[in-house]
Structure 1
Amino acid sequence: MTTQPDFDRETAVTPRAGEPGAYDTDLPGSFRIGMGINGGLLLSVAARALQAELGQGEDAHRDPFSISAYYLTTSAAGPATVRTETLRRGRTVSTGAATLTQPGEDGEPVERLRALATFGDLNGHDNGDVRTTAKPPQLPPPEQCVTSDQAPKEFTHAAPLLKRIDVRLDPDTVGWAVGEPSHRGEIRGWFRLPEGREPDPLLLLLVADVLPPVTFDLGIIDWAPTLELTAHVRAHPAPGWLRVVHSTRNFADGYLEEDAEIWDSTDRLVAQSRQLARVRTT
């Protein structure tokens, strides 16, 4: 009997009996960062429910091409429900919407996230016509980078997520950890799952929000909850390490945009994202 990888088990959704388009899930506390569940993990859960909804039938569309989510309230570990709606089915792409809710203190559902997404079929895109001026980041080998094991204990206690992923940060972008931020507004690193699961389009949605807040490199060591996140998946990632770059060009009045690029082991740009975040001082 094969064992389901941790990421797939922890983002699994189960159709709700008697309610078409609704899926039950259990948000894992192991993906908590700061006060709530990581925004990329929530995006992966919503996309998995949309995949189940849009990936059926003759014109099955299982791959997220573009997904935008608004984070309405802070998610907590525990039961949640994703309700999906098919807005359009087409030959090439289909569009759907999803809402993720959890029971509130009074037992009534509280909406945590609302997403709109376009799904298609990435098969055939992997060897298609690619013209890009983007360049993959140049990083030291993973074994020469900084691991989460080297982070202060109080930091890892506040972010159990770090124990669920294998992130190796470029030493050139972690000066903030010793009080010497570069103020370039950029953090770079390697990513993989320690369980050995190879990357796929759904995992890329987690990776889009997986590095420390880029404001750390501006000398602002506070959590930066995501308000909105849009991810574009461009190709199936090849097996192996992913390289991730997060950057910002404008931090103003506590708000910032954070851009991400994700490159696979063949130097292919497989995903891009942009989010609006707000620094939450502690």
Structure 2
Amino acid sequence: MSQSTADLDRSTATDAPFSRVCAVTEIPAEAAGAGRYLGAIEPIWTIGAKVHGGTMVAGSAAAATRWLHTVEPELTAMAPIAASSDFLGAPDAGQVEYAVRIRKVGRQICLVDAELVQGDRTRVRTTFTFGALDDAEPIYAPQHGDMPAEPTADAVGYEPGSPMGKIVNVARGADVFMDRTWARFLDGDHTAEPRLRLWMRPRAGDANDPAVAAYFAMMAADMSPPVAMNRGHFGWAPTVQMTTYLRRRPAPGWLRIIATTHEIGGRMFDEDQLVLDSTGAVVAQSRQLALIPQR
């Protein structure tokens, strides 16, 4: 199921690498009323040696959705509108299993638990809230017109071999650029505002599947580097807990990611990430609490 890094080169523009993250195969469940699926997270979906957290949440969402729609076929219009994830351990890239159990079935809201398992250990546990996506015209929505809809000429690319591309392997499965005007740490400024902005776009094959495009938006809500880097804190920032919202399916084109914080403490910091589609609509959000990298 996996392919070599060379096979997943950026030149395969019509490929659908994220679709493979979301492609889960049902296997016999050990417990009645539970669903179990086999999946794979390829090495490109890593940050350094660590599997990207948002990718694990998206894979879990695909498995949870598959089981809910299998057990309750009349609820196929429901989508994972919220996910609360606890990261219990860091899995290796490769084969994983998803154990899924439905906790509540309702006409408007359903609750589904999913565990990402590897080596007989639960690595990520996520509680999903399912409901209808909010496709109505918003009553109130702040505009973010100061951020261009597409990467600017001076945007920092994540292409293979670049400083960011050497660490963020996710950029082999999507197009990723960072706004240099906010990423002051790139110029050695460690006193800048702790905020970052990025542009991200899925491969054509992933964008053409509405379900995969929605999972991709959920994944993108965990794409920004730690905003604490603008304050000189570099290194792995383990996520303690993350909540992700899916508001609507994205329109085709670039996603804009805006990352901010309310506080960088001595041990922990929070980070909010807002994902806008090419029309400026909010498609996904996340809030996480993470341990601050030590200088």
Whole-angstrom distance in 2 between the partners of 1:192 and 1:265: 10
Give the TM-score normalised by the residue count of structure 1.
0.88
Matched, 1:43 2:57: yes
How far 1:169 sits from its partner (Å)?
1.3
How far 1:102 sits from its partner (Å)?
0.6
- The one-letter amino acid of 1:45's match is G
How far 1:61 sits from its partner (Å)?
4.6
Cα offsets for 1:45-90 (capped at 9, x unmatched): 1100001011231223541111110001112112211100101111
Whole-angstrom distance in 1 between the partners of 2:232 and 2:215: 32
Whole-angstrom distance in 2 between the partners of 1:15 and 1:82: 9
How far 1:254 sits from its partner (Å)?
2.7
Counterpart in 2 of 1:96? 112
Pick the aligned partner of 1:81 from 97, 108, 119. Answer: 97
Contact (CA 8 Å) 1:61, 1:93: kept in 2 or not? Answer: no
Q: Percentage identity across aligned positions?
A: 29
Whole-angstrom distance in 2 between the partners of 1:219 and 1:152: 20
Contact (CA 8 Å) 1:44, 1:206: kept in 2 or not? Answer: yes
Pick the aligned partner of 2:187 from 171, 175, 178. Answer: 178
Report the secondary structure of 2:44's partner residue: helix
Q: Aligned pairs, how many? A: 271
Report the secondary structure of 2:89's partner residue: coil
- The one-letter amino acid of 1:75's match is P
Instruction: Detail structure 1 runs of 4+ shifted over 4 Å in the superposition.
Output: 150-153
Whole-angstrom distance in 1 between the partners of 2:222 and 2:215: 13
For structure 1, the residue ranges without an aligned partner over 5 or more in a row are 104-108
1:119-268 equivalences under 5 Å are: 119-122=130-133, 125-126=134-135, 128-136=136-144, 138-140=146-148, 141-144=150-153, 145-149=155-159, 152-153=162-163, 155-181=164-190, 183-195=192-204, 197-198=206-207, 200-268=213-281
- The one-letter amino acid of 1:132's match is Y
Report the secondary structure of 1:239's partner residue: coil
Report the secondary structure of 1:117's partner residue: strand
Whole-angstrom distance in 2 between the partners of 1:195 and 1:174: 28
Whole-angstrom distance in 2 between the partners of 1:168 and 1:158: 14
Pick the aligned partner of 1:55 from 39, 64, 69. Answer: 69
How far 1:247 sits from its partner (Å)?
0.9
Whole-angstrom distance in 2 between the partners of 1:281 and 1:156: 23
Contact (CA 8 Å) 1:11, 1:27: kept in 2 or not? Answer: no
